[in-house]
Amino acid sequence: MVEPITPTPIAGPLDDYLREVVQTLHTAVNQGMRRAADDPHAATPQIADCEEILSVIMAGEVKDWLGA
């Protein structure tokens, strides 16, 4: 009962893309947290960045992301 196991071609590129997205989001969040700690309304640009990035991910257009 030997069944060949072959990775999907998309596995690596999707992993790389999402890893970069997550890092970018964390950078924006951390910057926003520092700014909001000083002034509760100062993180507007970072929140806007997060909204923009997350809107792309929520749309889920994987082929566009990977240029496939």
Partner 1 sequence: MFSDRVEQNDLPKQHPEYLDLLRRVLAIQADCEIGGPHLYVDAMLPTAPTQIDQLVVARTAAEEIDHFRKFARLAGDIGVDTSYILSRPNQERYLEAFRGLITTWEDFAVFGFLIDRVGKYQLEEFAGCTYAPLSRLLEHPSRVMDEEAGHIDFGTTRTAEIAARGGDARDRVQKAVNFWYTTGLDMFGRSESHRAERYRHWGLKRRTNAEARREFIAEVNPLIEAMGLEVPDPVAGRKYL
Interacting residues with partner 1 (CB under 8 A): 1-8, 10-12, 14-15, 18-19, 21-22, 25-26, 28-29, 32-33, 36, 40-44, 46-47, 50-51, 54, 57-62
Per the CB < 8 A criterion, the answer to whether 63 and 13 are in contact is no
The two tokens of residue 33 are: 């947290």
Contact (CB, 8 A) for 55 and 26: no
Paired tokens of 47: 């929140």
CB of 11 to partner 1, least distance (A): 3
* In the complex, minimum distance from the CB of residue 29 to partner 1, in angstroms, rounded to a whole number: 5
How long, in residues, is the chain? 68
Q: Nearest distance from residue 65's CB to partner 1, in Å?
A: 9
